[in-house]
Structure 1
Amino acid sequence: MKKVLVLGGGFAGIESAIYLRKNNFDVTLVSDRDFFYIYPTSIWVPTGETKFKDICVELIKLQDAHGFKIIIDPVRSIEAKEHRVTLKSGRVMDDYDYLVIAIGASKMKAKGIEHTLSICGAPEQSLLIKDRVQELVEKGSGKIAFGFGGNPNDTSAVRGGPGFELLFNVHNLLKKKGIRENYELTFFAPMPKPGARMGEKALKMMDMFFERTMVKKHFGKKIKAFQNDGVIFEDDSKLESDFTMFIPAGDGHEIIKDSDLPKNAAGFVKIDDFCRVEGFEYIYAVGDVAAIEGPEWRAKQGHIAEVMARNAAHNINEQENNADNHKGYQEHLNILCVMDSGDGAAFVYRDEKKAKMIPLPILGHWLKKGWGKYCRLSKLGRIPRIPGL
């Protein structure tokens, strides 16, 4: 039985391990934490609507469900030409036939970033955000800024949706408590039209959301630095804030930048349409770690990471059996999400042919809640997987 080493315990890594096992490979998964974190549902941790433990799935349970082996030990280095991966403990992994890299991305590091917290950062940051929000609720008033940044070297590495969702959920929390009028909520971003990749209709609807929820906008100015009481922009203007939630753009992982793997200008691994790393026949890269090619509006999302993971597993199996029915990821590129607002949601979809945003009052919130439970149970193999979800 051929051996596959999978690096990463997120959406891309877990999906790769599951589907490689379905193809009867001997799979070892290496992760820097002992749980799989369902990031899309973390937006409810800061508002107390969801408990942290409920969006974590223990890797040992996934191992029992699917039969892959797990090693909890961060990756320290990848030496592709030497066919070697070294872990933080010093353990050397070189006994594999195929390598799947799914370690995600690092984050752009703006000056003063330590004065912010991110809903897309380390999982534990969601709890810290909860503490900060609770402090301001107890105070009875305050200014909260929510924002995200971009990476000029790779436009696919922007993740703004969770920022919008957390903003609207905090608005809804304050509204329920009857104290919303005591708070100034502002959304900021360096680009003139944040969310433009979702399409013009979505942009107009987002403006309606901002107006209806009395959220201020601060768009089109580059971020110079963060301070403990606000955000400084390129023209030295300042957005005052008692708490700033900021999602930095993705950047090439430090381990990848230090490796001998081919990289694009942002430091993401160069791959072909079949997710195979350029110049390396037995190495694949999936999810945020990879340089995704395609239209300008392309975005790195969990469902794209999973498509890439399933394709990589399929293509490894094809390669092993000397077959050529390989599957590419680019034909599956789209933007797909249910953007939650705490009291409803909006269905967002975009591909090469169309872009739409459909309001889902009340029902949408519970649909996304249901998806969170579905994600957990389907990953554990307790309910069937629905194609495309």
Structure 2
Amino acid sequence: MKHVTILGGGIAGVEAAIYYRKEGFDVELISDRSYVFIYPTAIWIPVRTASFDDVAFPLDKLAARHGFKLTVERVAAIRQSDKTVTFESGETRRIDHLVIAIGAAKTKHDGIEHTLSICGAPEQSLLLKDRIEALVAKGGGKIAFGFGGNPNDPSGVRGGPGFELFFNLHHHLEKLGIRDKFEMTFFAPMASPGARMGEKALKLMDMMFKRNRFGAQYGKKIKRFEEKAVVFEDDSRLESDLTMFIPAGDGMDLIKNSDLPQNGAGFIRIDNYCEIEGVKGWYAVGDAAALEGPEWKAKQGHIAEVMARNAAHNSAIDAGFKPGEKKTYQDHLNILCVMDMGNGAGFVYRDDKKALLIPMPIVGHWLKIFWGWYYKLSKMGYIPRIPGM
């Protein structure tokens, strides 16, 4: 039985561990966290719709269920020249078959410590909850939510969760009867944030912003963050009692300091089969990898899962476990999400042929809740996986 080591216990790493086991590999998953954090449903923690335990579940239970080994450890260095991985414990291993699924770092901004992110460390979701509760107790305030871009790799933008939490907070404050006491503004450095969703989606988002009395500050680069403000390149200021900001993805220092092939942002260059360029038997999937494809491409969880499954399938062919043709990830590139708003949702889809945003009042919110439970139960193998989900 061939052995594969998977670095990363997020959505991509978990999918890789499950499917490499299905393909007959002996699997070790190495993660710096002991739990899986389901980022797409973390938007509900700050508004008390979900608890932290609803969004996280233990990796050891998943490992036991699927028969792979779990090691909780942090990686210190990776060298493709001699195929070694060094851990913070000091151990160095030669690894012939490796899957890198460690995610991405964040672009650096002056004063970022004055912000919190729904896509950052899982604990920040709880800090956001505390800050929101403090503002509710105060009776009002100014709230600024936003996200940034990375000119070296635009595919790492994470705008969707920012919009989702923004709408959920609006709904939460309305239920409390104090929405009129809050000034809510969304900001982004690009002129049309969300443009990758398509023109129809942009028009619908604009209508929703006007209907819900949201402010918007678009098209100005961020100069710095302060304790009570966002300062833009022209020195204009957006005053804020709470700033939630999602920096764009950037290559991790672990990768940037390695000899792995990288693009300008520090993401790992791969071929269409997810194999790292020039490194036989090593793969990169999910946010750690540099995507190729259409201009509107975006790194999303379902794309990370496709890449993980393809890596397992292609590795099994190379290992002689089965015949068949290798699978490519670029054939599956699309944007797909249910953008939750607390009392409904919008179904977003984009590929080369069409771009959709379909409003789904009430039922859309419950569909996203269903997906959260489906993710846990299907990953644990308690219910069958629905094709395409």
Matches within 5 A, 1:178-327: 178-321=177-320, 323=323, 325-327=325-327
Aligned to 1:62: 62
SS of structure 2 residue aligned to 1:358: strand
SS of structure 1 residue aligned to 2:302: helix
1:165 aligns with 2:164: yes
Aligned to 2:104: 105
Q: How many residues align?
A: 388
For residues 213 and 125 of structure 1, what CA distance do their matches in structure 2 show? Answer: 26
Q: Is the 8 A contact 1:108 1:251 kept in 2?
A: yes
Q: Is the 8 A contact 1:119 1:126 kept in 2?
A: yes
AA aligned to 2:56 is C
Offset at residue 92 of structure 1 (A): 2.2
For residues 91 and 363 of structure 2, what CA distance do their matches in structure 1 show? Answer: 49
Offset at residue 99 of structure 1 (A): 0.4
Aligned to 1:28: 28
Offset at residue 337 of structure 1 (A): 0.2
1:3 aligns with 2:3: yes
Aligned to 1:87: 87
SS of structure 1 residue aligned to 2:64: helix
Q: Is the 8 A contact 2:104 2:288 kept in 1?
A: yes
SS of structure 2 residue aligned to 1:159: coil
For residues 233 and 173 of structure 1, what CA distance do their matches in structure 2 show? Answer: 29
Identity %: 63
For residues 88 and 222 of structure 1, what CA distance do their matches in structure 2 show? Answer: 37
SS of structure 1 residue aligned to 2:356: strand
Aligned to 2:351: 351
Which 4+ runs in 1 deviate beyond 6 A? none
Offset at residue 54 of structure 1 (A): 1.0
AA aligned to 2:44 is W
Offset at residue 30 of structure 1 (A): 0.4
Aligned to 1:332: 332
Q: Is the 8 A contact 1:13 1:29 kept in 2?
A: yes
Offset at residue 115 of structure 1 (A): 0.4
1:17 aligns with 2:17: yes
- Residues 295-316 of structure 1 show CA distances to partners (whole Å, capped at 9, x for unaligned) of 1100000000000000000000
Offset at residue 188 of structure 1 (A): 0.2
Q: Is the 8 A contact 2:286 2:304 kept in 1?
A: yes
Q: Is the 8 A contact 2:83 2:96 kept in 1?
A: no
AA aligned to 1:290 is A
Q: Is the 8 A contact 1:2 1:97 kept in 2?
A: no
AA aligned to 1:191 is M
Offset at residue 81 of structure 1 (A): 1.4
AA aligned to 1:267 is G
After superposition, the CA RMSD in angstroms is: 0.8
AA aligned to 1:253 is M
Offset at residue 363 of structure 1 (A): 0.5
- Residues 64-115 of structure 1 show CA distances to partners (whole Å, capped at 9, x for unaligned) of 1101101101111101111111111222232x43100000000001100010
- Uncovered stretches (5+) of structure 1, i.e. residues with no partner: none
Q: Is the 8 A contact 1:338 1:364 kept in 2?
A: yes
AA aligned to 2:284 is A
Deviates more, 1:85-94 or 1:178-187: 85-94
Q: Is the 8 A contact 1:142 1:242 kept in 2?
A: yes
For residues 250 and 202 of structure 1, what CA distance do their matches in structure 2 show? Answer: 23
Offset at residue 324 of structure 1 (A): 5.9
Q: Is the 8 A contact 2:37 2:57 kept in 1?
A: yes
For residues 30 and 205 of structure 1, what CA distance do their matches in structure 2 show? Answer: 43
- Residues 118-173 of structure 1 show CA distances to partners (whole Å, capped at 9, x for unaligned) of 00001110000000100100000100100000000001010100000000000001
For residues 309 and 213 of structure 1, what CA distance do their matches in structure 2 show? Answer: 39
Deviates more, 1:139-148 or 1:319-328: 319-328
Q: Is the 8 A contact 1:276 1:285 kept in 2?
A: yes
- Residues 266-285 of structure 1 show CA distances to partners (whole Å, capped at 9, x for unaligned) of 00000000000000111000
1:365 aligns with 2:358: no
Offset at residue 227 of structure 1 (A): 0.3
SS of structure 2 residue aligned to 1:272: coil
For residues 269 and 29 of structure 1, what CA distance do their matches in structure 2 show? Answer: 19
For residues 3 and 96 of structure 2, what CA distance do their matches in structure 1 show? Answer: 5
Aligned to 1:137: 136
- Residues 16-54 of structure 1 show CA distances to partners (whole Å, capped at 9, x for unaligned) of 010000011010000010001110000000000100011
AA aligned to 1:197 is R
AA aligned to 1:300 is K
AA aligned to 1:240 is E
AA aligned to 1:57 is F
Q: Is the 8 A contact 2:96 2:282 kept in 1?
A: no
TM-score normalised to the size of structure 1? 0.99
Aligned to 1:146: 145
AA aligned to 1:18 is I
For residues 187 and 274 of structure 2, what CA distance do their matches in structure 1 show? Answer: 34
- Residues 237-272 of structure 1 show CA distances to partners (whole Å, capped at 9, x for unaligned) of 000000100000000111000011000000000000
AA aligned to 2:361 is P
